[in-house]
């Protein structure tokens, strides 16, 4: 019982240099060891789901683009797939390839940015600068093609809004080639002794835990869960691209494995982008019908759609009312699905490793902010408890 007096409650956030977004972790610390942790969300709740119920489908398409700044292609892609499946709309083949292409470019820039943030957490600012410099090459071609660096806005009902021309294809090829060259140094840098010693064996998530806590994306794959929506439930052009990429799986379950999975995924993405550019079918990129007529013709119905966002499986539930509006929109972001796994990683870790573990799941707090429930009858506000989160959160 003497040990109990030594426990110290360390607040981590909502404002903390290691956090790019506000979230509050309360760590129960025994010396340098984290005994228990509780998480509190709700500082950046934006009410996007409620807002979506007051907009028409075309407007919501641009709204969900802004759920997340980094995976700003995955969200509308997931949403539009649900809408298209409700309306029985089939986009042209070329549009599907372009959707996959942008998704892969997005995955590269997201993982590179993550690697930068990770090395910043470990005090290696030079690698942060290097990763962001490499990422800039990808952002440049994205800007060239879509008209913006991050908010890409390529998706539309029944296709994509812009078509690739030869000049952009050539630029994409050279950007990808350059990235592949730069990746060599990144892979080496992660195995630099000072960085590797900070990542190896840190924040271990066993395979069983990963399955039980419903971890998704690179976090799950680093714990030996061989699952990738792109391969196991193909969307866009991924069913045609099945043989062109492999799913990276590691068994370590620690921060180093998660880093390796992400870096190798960038490498796989470079292969995929080249394959897509090689096989790009000719034809239209969107249906001939006017956009508003398409959206009017979508009947009342509901659908669930999922895509493999850079951070993991992203899930949308959409219910339309048949009059251009939505009855309900539900978003389950990968970060939300990974919070229970994060708690398991943090328990028993060292205090100095908390920022590393936290960023190793690549958290996007604002995206995950949909756990604060408001009970309309009582007007009471409560935050969903961990035990409820644990069952999928969704």
Partner 1 sequence: MELHLATAASAPIVLLVSLVYEGVDRKLRARMQGRVGPPLLQPFYDLVKLFSKDRIIPFTAAYPLFNYAPLLSASCALAGGALVFVVLVTGLQLAGDLLLVFYLLSSSSLLAMVGGASSGNPYAAISLSRGLSVLLSYKLPMLLSVLTAAIKAGGTLSLASVIALQAEAGGGIATLSLGGALALLAFMLCMPAEGEVPPFDVTTAKTEVVHGFLIEYGGPHLALVKIAKGVSRFSTALLAASLFLYTPARPPLAAMLCLLEAMCIAVLTITVPGTVLGRVKPSQVVRFCLVAPTSIAILSLAISLLEAGGLA
Partner 2 sequence: MKIGVMLRDALRRLLGRPLTIGYPLKPERPATPRGYRGMIAYDWETCIGCMLCLKVCPSGAVSVADRRKVTFDVGRCIFCGQCAEICPVGAVRLTSEFEMVAVDRSAYRVGPRW
Burial class (CB in 10 A: 0-12, 13-18, 19+), 125: exposed
Residue 121 interacting entry, from partner 2, partner 1, none, C-beta within 5 to 8 Å by type: partner 1
* Closer of 190 and 287 to partner 1 (Cβ): 190
Interaction with partner 2 in 55-84: which residues (CB under 8 A)? 55-56, 58-63, 65-66
Interaction with partner 2 in 119-148: which residues (CB under 8 A)? 124, 126-127, 130, 133, 143-144, 147-148
Asked if 387 touches partner 2 (CB under 8 A), the answer is no
Positive or negative: CA dihedral 103, 308, 331, 68: negative
Interaction with partner 2 in 165-204: which residues (CB under 8 A)? 185, 188-189, 191-194, 196
Residue 157 interacting entry, from partner 2, partner 1, none, C-beta within 5 to 8 Å by type: none
Count residues near partner 2 (CB under 8 A): 34
| Of the candidates 293, 362, 310, 270, the residue with the CA atom closest to the CA atom of residue 78 | 310
* Closer of 103 and 112 to partner 1 (Cβ): 112
Neighbours of 380 (CB within 10 A): 9
For 176-179, the CB contacts below 8 A with 24+ separation are: 176/270, 176/273, 176/274, 178/137, 179/108, 179/134, 179/137, 179/138, 179/266, 179/270
| Least CB distance to partner 2 at residue 374 (A) | 24
DSSP-assigned states of every residue in 16-61: -TT-SS--EEEEEEETTEEEEEEEE--TT---HHHHHTTSBHHHHH
**In angstroms, what CA-CA distances link 60 with 57, 63, 67, 90, 101?**
5, 5, 11, 20, 23
Residue 169 interacting entry, from partner 2, partner 1, none, C-beta within 5 to 8 Å by type: none
| Of the candidates 167, 155, 16, 28, the residue with the CA atom closest to the CA atom of residue 96 | 155
| Least CB distance to partner 2 at residue 52 (A) | 10
Asked if 163 touches partner 2 (CB under 8 A), the answer is no
Residue 123 interacting entry, from partner 2, partner 1, none, C-beta within 5 to 8 Å by type: partner 1
Contacts to partner 1 by CB under 8 A: 8, 10, 16-18, 32, 119-127, 129-130, 133, 192, 194-195, 197-198, 350-355
Q: Residues in the site for partner 2, rule: CB under 8 A?
A: 55-56, 58-63, 65-66, 124, 126-127, 130, 133, 143-144, 147-148, 151, 153, 156, 161-162, 185, 188-189, 191-194, 196, 291-292
């Amino acid at each position: 019982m003497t040990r109990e007096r030594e426990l110290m409650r360390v607040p981590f956030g909502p404002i903390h240099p290691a956090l790019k977004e506000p979230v509050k972790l309360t760590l129960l610390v025994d010396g340098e060891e984290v005994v228990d942790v509780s998480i509190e969300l709700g500082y950046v709740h934006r009410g996007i789901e409620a807002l979506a119920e007051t907009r028409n489908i075309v407007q919501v398409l641009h709204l969900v683009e802004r759920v997340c700044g980094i995976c700003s292609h995955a969200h509308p892609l997931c949403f539009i797939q649900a809408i298209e499946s409700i309306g029985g709309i089939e986009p042209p083949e070329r549009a599907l390839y372009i959707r996959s292409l942008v998704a892969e470019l997005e995955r590269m820039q997201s993982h590179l940015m993550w690697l930068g943030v990770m090395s910043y957490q470990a005090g290696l600012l030079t690698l942060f600068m290097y990763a962001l410099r490499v990422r800039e090459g990808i952002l440049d071609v994205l800007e060239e093609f879509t008209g913006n660096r991050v908010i890409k806005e390529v998706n539309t009902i029944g296709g994509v809004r812009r078509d690739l021309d030869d000049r952009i294809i050539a630029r994409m090829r050279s950007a990808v080639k350059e990235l592949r060259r730069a990746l060599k140094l990144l892979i080496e840098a992660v195995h630099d002794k000072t960085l590797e010693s900070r990542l190896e064996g840190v924040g271990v998530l066993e395979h069983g835990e990963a399955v039980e806590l419903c971890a998704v994306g690179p976090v799950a794959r680093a714990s030996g869960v061989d699952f990738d929506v792109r391969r196991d439930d193909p969307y866009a052009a991924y069913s045609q691209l099945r043989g062109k990429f492999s799913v990276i799986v590691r068994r370590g379950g620690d921060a180093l494995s998660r880093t390796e999975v992400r870096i190798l995924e960038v490498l796989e993405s470079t292969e995929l982008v080249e394959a897509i550019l090689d096989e790009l079918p000719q034809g239209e990129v969107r249906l001939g019908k006017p956009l508003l007529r398409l959206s009017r013709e979508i009947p009342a119905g509901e659908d669930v759609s999922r895509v493999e966002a850079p951070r993991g499986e992203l899930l949308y539930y959409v219910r339309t009312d048949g009059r251009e509006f939505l009855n309900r929109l539900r978003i389950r972001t990968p970060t939300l699905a990974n919070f229970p796994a994060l708690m398991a990683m943090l328990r028993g870790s060292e205090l100095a490793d908390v920022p590393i573990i936290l960023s190793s799941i690549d958290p996007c707090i604002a995206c995950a902010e949909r756990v604060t429930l408001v009970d309309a009858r009582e007007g009471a506000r409560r935050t969903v408890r961990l035990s409820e989160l644990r069952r999928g959160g969704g």
